[in-house]
Amino acid sequence: MDTLTIHHTPDPNADTSVPDVHQDIFSTRVLGFWMYLMTDCIIFATLFTTYAVLHNNTFGGPSSKDLFSLKTSFAETMILLLSSVTCGLGMLSALKSRRKHVLGWFGIAFLLGASFIALELHEFTHLVLEGNSWTRSAFLSSFFTLVGTHGLHVSIGLFWMLVVLTQVYLIGINIDTFRRLVIFSLFWHFLDLVWIFIFTFVYLMGVL
Amino acid sequence: MLYVNLIWAWGHPEVYILILPAFGVFSEVVPTFCEKRLFGYVSMVWALIVITVLSFIVWLHHFFTMGASPDVNAFFAIMTMLIAIPTGVKIFNWLFTKFRGRVHFDSPMLWFFAFVLNFTVGGMTGILLSSPPVDYQVHNSLFLIAHFHGMVIGGMLFGFFCAFTYWFPKFTGFHLSERLNRYAFWCWFSGFLIAFMPLYMLGFMGATRRLDHYEASTEWQPIFITAAIGALIILWGVTIQIYGLYKSIRERKKNRDLTGNPWNGATLEWATSSPPPVYNFAITPTVDQLDPLWAPKAPKPRKDYEDIHLPTHTPMGLYIGILSLLLGFSMTWYISWLAILSFIGIIVCLVIRLSGKDEFEIITAAEVKKIEEARTA
């Protein structure tokens, strides 16, 4: 467990009035990533607002009721939720430094994420082929921007997961790869959370 | 139009991200070259905060002609006018810093003088533009172009040139040629006025931006030619700057800064050598006041060196920056092969950076002692 020790100075009465020369890299990196996530929140908040403003502007074209299928989006939701669960189980194995379990759990999360993207691409191509692309109406433009931005995040997350898993495979679990897993899983859970909002506001409220 | 709103809701705070560092630069440079503490430090900080907040609620002034209701336009017009107040506070504080100070006319200070003139003219025309009825007349005209070039070139760029000249000896260890700096400054300053003041006139005469031709009967030709001459003078200034940089690097042995504090600055960066050692300070200095280097009793240098823990060097930030520039350029001009290539390059740099193992290095107390003795000897 020593490999995962994250504090250089465990002194309980450390003088915090002066900066610690052995800066705690683990917490600063995680804090930095939280800040990134907050800026991402601003992007999604903006896109959700755009969608809320524009979702009735169908320009004579199809509305959300005509286009969305709850079956696909429910399957997407379950897949993404499940991948978050296996991602969490992977983190538990990482805490115990079990490399094979980490690779296994994250491998499943990767496959689930990939099938989520496959489903989403299938939905998008279907819409575009029927002539309902982002150029059709303001509603569809805001739909593709919001859901597409989320999809892009997931795709980049998949690539990122591959990189980190390759490191775990080659190096094993040490303080560096562990930190990268922690930060990646923050990102993955965050995307899951955003999807819950998309599922609720775009699909559920769009169809019901 | 909603997306245009989104772009400027981001874009207007962004132009303040451009100018605020220049404000910070002048708050460092003006006290140094006036040998006097910054006037109204606390009001400076509050002005900064007010500008930051207001910058988020003015974006609609980029398109008063969108057709929003008069109430909406009025709100954004008033918020835009309000920004002039904290900005004026800053300008006056810098001027009051000069009052009864010992003003030195070194080249960083010249950029400041030019900044005050250009930024005030640009700010005044900005106030004119912030009124919707006026804006309906001059929207997208060269009047607007002259306004924002005045802010970005006369304000921000002059500030950055000032910073470059001021901190150049700190990060390289030698001075830029002061004589060539002055020549470049006068070219820039006069060229800027000759190039952009005519645009205010043209704007009032009805010339819009991005014209591909205009009729001879408009009689704009002589004014456009004057502006072009101004641009050529600026080009000459740029040439002098590049030559000055080349000459200063070639003659760097003659222009060394051995003091570490060539301008008698008051802030901490001047307390270490030029260029600073990799760890900046052997012992993190304790500061109990503004302008610590002007304190009547300078603290004694300490010698109880400890091991210094530093992140390792990496050039990846530089590479990613260059590749991002290429990516942005190629995306703007639809050069898809370059866009794909630079994007892949960025990803590769990121992966390499995030796959590194040794992210820290320790400089031992003995090494620190050696470096410190070599530099203070």
- Write out pLDDT tens, residues B100-112: 999 999 999 999 9
> Which phi and psi angles does B308 have, rounded to 5°?
-115, 135
- Model pLDDT, residue A3: 46
Structural domain boundaries enclosing B159: 2-250
Distance between CA atoms of A1 and A98, rounded to whole angstroms? 11
Helices B2-34 and B41-55 sit at what angle, rounded to 10 degrees? Answer: 170
Contacts B344 to A, Cβ<8 Å: none
Q: Give yes or no for a contact between B76 and B64, defined as CB atoms under 8 angstroms apart.
A: yes
Q: In chain A, which residues have their Cβ closer than 8 Å to the Cβ of B354?
A: 163, 180
DSSP B300: P
**Residue B363: Cβ within 10 Å count:** 18
Report the pLDDT value the prediction gives residue A16, as an integer from 0 to 100. 58
Residues B149 and B100 occupy one common structural domain: yes
Find the farthest-apart pair of alpha carbons in chain B and give their distance in angstroms, rounded.
79
Interhelix angle for A175-198 vs A25-54, to 10°? Answer: 20
Tell me whether residue A122 is exposed, middle or buried, using C-beta atoms within 10 angstroms of its C-beta: 0 to 12, 13 to 18, 19 or more. Answer: exposed
Q: Is residue B11 part of a domain?
A: yes
Helices (H), ranges, B1-106: 2-34, 41-55, 70-98
Where do we find the tokens 């009124």? B131
Non-local CB neighbours of A101 within 8 Å, separated by 6+ positions: A90, A93
Regarding whether B178 and B304 lie in a shared domain, the answer is: no
What token pair was written down for B263? 């301008």
Residue of A9, A175, A176 to mutate when probing chain B, most B C-beta within 10 A: A176
Q: What is the pLDDT of residue B291?
A: 86
Assign A208 a pLDDT band (cuts: 50, 70, 90): confident
Q: CB distance A19–B284 less than 8 Å?
A: yes
**pTM (two decimals):** 0.85
Tokens of A15: 């003088």
Min Cα separation A78/chain B (Å): 30
Fold topology of A68-208? Four Helix Bundle (Hemerythrin (Met), subunit A) (1.20.120)
pLDDT tens figures, A25-84: 777 888 999 999 999 999 999 999 999 999 998 888 888 888 888 899 999 999 999 999
pLDDT of residue A7: 45
Looking at the domain assignment, is residue B267 inside a domain? no
Residue B229 sits in the same domain as residue B293? no
Domain regions of chain A by residue span: 68-208
Q: Which of B230, B250, B270 is the last residue of a domain?
A: B250
Predicted pLDDT of residue B355:
84
Same structural domain for residues B330 and B370? yes
Q: In angstroms, rounded to a whole number, what is the distance separating the alpha carbons of residues A15 and A28?
A: 18
B10 within some domain? yes
Q: Is A163 on the interface with B (CB under 8 A)?
A: yes
Q: Is residue B262 part of a domain?
A: no
Q: What is the DSSP string of B332-350?
A: HTT-HHHHHHHHHHHHHHH
Q: Which residues of A are less than 8 Å from B307 in CB distance?
A: 21
b (16+ CB within 10 A) / e for A82-91: bbbebbebbb
Measure B347 CA to nearest chain A CA, in Å: 10
| Cβ atoms of A5 and A175 closer than 8 Å | yes
Name the β-bridge partners of B362. Answer: B309
From B218, B340, B368, select the one nearest B284 (Cα to Cα): B368
Burial B94-105 (b: 16+ CB within 10 A, else e): beebbeebebee
Q: B141-163: buried (b, 16+ CB within 10 Å) or exposed (e) per residue?
A: bbbbbbbebbbbbbbbbbbebbb
Share of chain A above pLDDT 90, in %: 68
pLDDT value, residue A24? 66
- What is the DSSP secondary-structure string of B247-286? HHHHTTTTTB--SS-TT---SGGGGS-SSPPTTS-SSPPP
* Structure tokens, A44: 């999604």
| Distance separating alpha carbons of residues B254 and B339, to the nearest angstrom | 44
For chain B, say whether A63 makes contact (Cβ under 8 Å).
Answer: no
Say yes or no: A22 contacts chain B, CB-CB below 8 A: yes
Find the angle CA(A86)-CA(A90)-CA(A91) to the nearest 5 degrees: 120
Q: Is the pLDDT of residue A13 over 70?
A: no
Tell me what the mean pLDDT of segment A3-14 comes to: 51
- CA–CA distance, B196 with A133 (Å, rounded to integer): 45
Residue given tokens 């901190």 in the structure block? B167
On whether both B287 and B225 belong to a single domain, the answer is no
* Tokens describing residue B66: 């969108």
* Residues A21, B360: C-beta atoms closer than 8 Å: no
Q: Cis check for the bond before B275: say yes or no (omega within 30 of 0).
A: yes
Cβ within 8 Å of A, B 274-313:
284, 286, 306-309, 311
Q: Are residues B120 and B179 in the same domain?
A: yes
Percentage of chain A modeled with pLDDT above 70: 88
The total number of structural domains in chain B stands at 2
Nearest to B12 by CA among B48, B63, B47: B63
Q: Tokens standing for B168?
A: 């150049």
The segments of chain B whose pLDDT lies below 70 read: 298-299, 357-359, 377
How far apart (Å, rounded) are the C-alpha atoms in residues B131 and B148?
Answer: 16
Q: Are residues B322 and B219 in the same domain?
A: no
3-state secondary structure of A21: coil
Cα nearest neighbour of B348 on chain A: A163
Q: Is the CB of residue B92 less than 8 Å from the CB of residue B124?
A: no
Say which residue, A23 or B337, is predicted with more confidence: B337
* Residue in B with minimal Cα distance to A23: B309
Q: Are residues B246 and B299 both part of a single domain?
A: no
CA distance B30 to A23: 34
Q: Could you tell me the two tokens for B107? A: 């080249």
Task: Check whether A1 has a pLDDT greater than 50.
Answer: no
- Paired strand residues for B361: B310
Residue B81 pairs with which residues in a beta bridge? none
Structure tokens of B124?
């005044």
Contact flag A25-B351 (C-beta cutoff 8 Å)? no
Claim to verify: residue B224 and residue B92 sit in the same structural domain: yes
